[in-house]
C-alpha cells in the first residue's frame, strides 16, 4: 500500500512524500527508522479502475469467510500469535474489503484490543454468531479449538447452501432462456407473421388477437419502457415494505406455506437454527444468549420472532421446547428432542444429530425437486409453443377452409 505523508526531516524542514508499506504501522515504523518526525500520514486512494473499492464488487462472500476461518484455525493450532496469523492472512486474501478489514483487526489486536472486540466493530462482515464463538474461545482459553470447530461448521453450512444453489442453476437457466426466446419471438418474429394475417381482413380467433396485442405492447418502446419502469417501482416498493417487521413476518410465513418449496425453505431455516445453536452451546455460550444470536442468524422473520419469544421463556426458567410446541411450523421431533437434550444436559449433541438429519433431508428434497422441475419445464415449453403455433395456424386454417 502507498501512503502520503508530511513530516520534518533531520534538518527540521517540512517535507512531503510517499512511502510503500504493508500497512500504516509499518509505514510509521519505517519513517521513524529514517529519523523523520511524522506530522500526518494517509493512505493514497488508487485511481485505477481495478483498485476502486466498490462495495458491490468487493463484498465479502461466505466462501471468503470460510477460508478466513479455516486458515486462522490452522495457524492458531500451530501456536502462531494471533497478530502474526492475521498479518499472514492479510497478505494471502484477495478480497480487498476483507484484506483491509483483517489489517485493521491486526492493528487493533497489536495495540492491546481483544480479538473478539475488534471483530465486533466490523459487524457487517462478522456476524454476532462468529463474534460470540470467538469470545467464548477467548474466555475459555481454547481459541484454537473454537476456531477449528467454527471453521468446520461454516464449511458444512457453505457446502449445503452451495449444493442447493448449484442444483437450482439448471432450472433457472432454462427458464431465463425460455423467457428470452419468448420476448425475441414476440418482438421480432410474431409481428411479421401476424401482419400478414391482419391484411386478410378476416375474423381472427381470440388466441390470435391476444398474441397480436401482447406482441404490439412489447414491440412498442413506450410500452416496453413503461413496463420496465413499473417492474422496477414494484420491486422498490416491495423491498421497502418488507423492511417493516410485521410485513416481513407475514411474507416469511407465506414462504413456509408455498407448495413444494415451502417444506424446503422450512428445513433450510431449521438446519440454520440447529447448527448455529449447537455450535454456540458447544462453544460455551449460555443458552439464552445463544438463542438471541441464532434469532438473527436463521434468516426468517417468522422464526426470528418465535425464537425471541423462546428466549424470554428460557430466561423465566421455562423449558426451551414450550414455545416450539405451540406452533405447527416447528416439527414436533425438534421440540421433543430439545426437551430431551435439555433434561439430560446433552442439548448440543441432540442439536448436532438433528442438523445431520435435516441436512440429509434437504439434499434428498433438492434432488427430488430437480427431477420434478425438469418435466414441468418441458410441459411449460410445450404449452407455450402450442399456444403460439395455434394462434398463427388457426387463422390460416380458417382462411383455407373458406375457399
pLDDT tens across 240-261, in order? Answer: 998 888 999 999 999 999 887 8
CA separation for the pair 395, 16 (Å, rounded): 82
Task: Give the pLDDT confidence of 144-153 residue by residue, as tens digits.
Answer: 888 887 888 7
Task: Give the pLDDT confidence of 28-76 residue by residue, as tens digits.
Answer: 777 777 777 777 777 765 444 344 444 445 678 888 888 888 888 888 8
CA separation for the pair 168, 369 (Å, rounded): 9
User: What pLDDT was estimated at residue 49?
Assistant: 39
Render each residue's pLDDT in the chain as its tens digit; 403 residues: 667 777 777 777 777 777 766 567 767 777 777 777 777 777 765 444 344 444 445 678 888 888 888 888 888 888 888 889 998 998 888 888 888 899 989 888 888 888 988 998 888 888 888 888 888 888 777 788 888 878 887 888 888 888 888 877 877 888 888 888 878 877 787 777 777 766 666 667 787 778 778 777 777 777 767 878 888 999 999 999 988 889 999 999 999 998 878 888 899 899 889 988 888 888 788 888 889 888 888 889 999 999 999 998 888 888 888 888 888 888 888 888 988 888 888 888 899 899 889 888 888 888 888 778 778 888 888 887 787 777 777 777 766 665 5
Bridge partner residues of 15 (DSSP): 7
Q: Determine the Cα angle at 213 with ends 212 and 219, to 5°.
A: 85
CA separation for the pair 304, 286 (Å, rounded): 18
Does an H or E element contain 19, and which? strand 14-20
Q: What is the side-by-side strand order in the sheet with 37-43?
A: 14-20, 2-8, 37-43
User: What pLDDT was estimated at residue 378?
Assistant: 83
Grid-cell match 479449538, residue found: 145
Dihedral pair phi/psi, residue 282, rounded to 5°: -65, -30
Quick check: 86 and 98 in contact, CB under 8 A? Answer: no
Q: What is the rounded (10 degree) CA torsion for 90, 92, 98, 103?
A: 10
CA separation for the pair 68, 146 (Å, rounded): 14
CA separation for the pair 253, 304 (Å, rounded): 11
Quick check: 108 and 125 in contact, CB under 8 A? Answer: no
Q: What is the rounded (10 degree) CA torsion for 82, 88, 89, 91?
A: 150
In sign, the C-alpha dihedral spanning 197, 202, 207, 212 is: positive
Quick check: 296 and 127 in contact, CB under 8 A? Answer: yes
The three-state secondary structure class of 279 is helix
Provide the residue ranges of all domains of the chain, joining segments of one domain with +.
2-44, 62-126, 145-403
Taking phi first (over 0 means left), then psi (-120 to 50 degrees means alpha), and beta for anything else, what does residue 114 get? beta
User: What pLDDT was estimated at residue 200?
Assistant: 64
Grid-cell match 469467510, residue found: 65
Bridge partner residues of 2 (DSSP): 20
Grid cell digits, residue 333: 421431533
Quick check: 160 and 359 in contact, CB under 8 A? Answer: yes
Grid-cell match 416439527, residue found: 331
Contact partners, residue 311, CB within 8 Å, separation at least 6: 288, 291, 292, 295
CA separation for the pair 221, 38 (Å, rounded): 61
> Which residue from 164, 142, 88, 139 is spatially nearest to 286, judged by alpha carbons?
139
In sign, the C-alpha dihedral spanning 239, 309, 292, 267 is: negative
Bridge partner residues of 40 (DSSP): 6
The CATH label, of 3.40.50.150, 3.40.50.2000, 1.20.81.30, 3.60.150.10, for the domain at 145-403 is 1.20.81.30
CA separation for the pair 254, 116 (Å, rounded): 37
User: What pLDDT was estimated at residue 132?
Assistant: 84
Contact partners, residue 34, CB within 8 Å, separation at least 6: none
User: What pLDDT was estimated at residue 58?
Assistant: 60
> Which residue from 321, 272, 318, 327 is spatially nearest to 298, judged by alpha carbons?
272
User: What pLDDT was estimated at residue 253?
Assistant: 92
Amino acid at each position: 500500500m502507498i501512503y502520503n505523508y508530511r513530516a520534518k526531516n533531520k534538518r527540521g524542514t517540512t517535507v512531503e512524500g510517499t512511502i510503500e508499506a504493508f500497512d500504516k504501522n509499518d509505514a510509521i515504523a519505517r519513517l521513524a527508522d529514517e529519523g523523520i518526525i511524522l506530522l500526518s500520514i494517509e493512505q493514497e486512494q488508487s485511481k485505477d479502475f481495478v483498485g476502486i473499492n466498490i462495495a458491490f464488487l468487493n463484498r465479502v462472500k461466505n466462501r471468503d469467510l470460510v477460508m478466513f476461518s479455516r486458515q486462522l484455525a490452522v495457524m492458531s493450532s500451530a501456536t502462531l500469535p494471533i497478530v502474526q496469523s492475521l498479518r499472514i492472512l492479510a497478505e494471502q486474501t484477495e478480497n480487498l474489503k476483507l484484506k483491509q478489514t483483517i489489517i485493521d483487526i491486526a492493528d487493533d489486536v497489536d495495540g492491546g484490543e481483544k480479538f473478539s472486540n475488534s471483530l465486533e466493530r466490523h459487524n457487517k462482515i462478522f456476524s454476532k454468531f462468529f463474534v460470540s464463538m470467538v469470545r467464548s474461545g477467548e474466555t475459555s482459553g481454547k481459541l484454537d479449538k473454537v476456531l477449528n470447530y467454527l471453521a468446520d461448521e461454516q464449511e458444512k453450512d457453505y457446502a449445503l447452501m452451495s449444493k442447493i444453489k448449484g442444483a437450482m442453476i439448471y432450472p433457472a437457466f432454462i427458464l431465463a432462456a425460455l423467457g428470452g426466446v419468448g420476448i425475441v419471438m414476440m418482438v421480432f418474429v410474431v409481428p411479421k407473421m401476424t401482419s400478414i394475417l391482419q391484411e386478410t381482413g378476416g375474423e381472427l380467433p381470440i388466441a390470435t388477437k391476444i398474441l397480436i396485442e401482447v406482441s404490439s405492447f412489447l414491440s412498442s418502446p413506450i410500452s416496453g419502457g413503461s413496463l420496465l419502469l413499473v417492474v422496477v417501482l414494484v420491486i422498490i416498493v416491495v423491498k421497502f415494505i418488507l423492511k417493516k417487521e410485521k410485513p416481513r413476518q407475514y411474507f416469511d410465513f407465506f414462504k413456509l406455506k408455498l407448495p413444494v418449496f415451502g417444506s424446503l425453505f422450512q428445513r433450510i431455516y431449521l438446519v440454520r437454527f440447529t447448527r448455529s445453536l449447537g455450535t454456540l452451546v458447544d462453544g460455551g455460550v449460555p443458552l439464552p444468549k445463544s438463542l438471541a444470536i441464532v434469532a438473527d442468524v436463521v434468516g426468517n422473520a417468522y422464526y426470528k420472532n418465535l425464537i425471541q419469544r423462546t428466549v424470554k421463556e428460557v430466561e423465566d426458567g421455562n423449558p426451551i421446547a414450550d414455545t416450539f410446541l405451540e406452533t405447527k411450523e416447528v416439527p414436533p421431533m425438534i421440540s421433543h428432542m430439545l426437551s430431551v437434550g435439555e433434561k439430560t444436559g446433552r442439548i448440543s449433541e441432540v442439536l448436532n444429530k438433528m442438523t445431520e438429519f435435516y441436512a440429509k433431508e434437504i439434499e434428498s428434497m433438492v434432488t427430488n425437486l430437480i427431477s420434478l422441475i425438469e418435466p414441468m419445464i418441458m410441459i411449460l415449453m410445450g404449452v407455450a409453443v402450442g399456444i403460439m403455433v395455434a394462434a398463427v395456424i388457426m387463422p390460416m386454417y380458417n382462411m383455407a377452409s373458406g375457399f
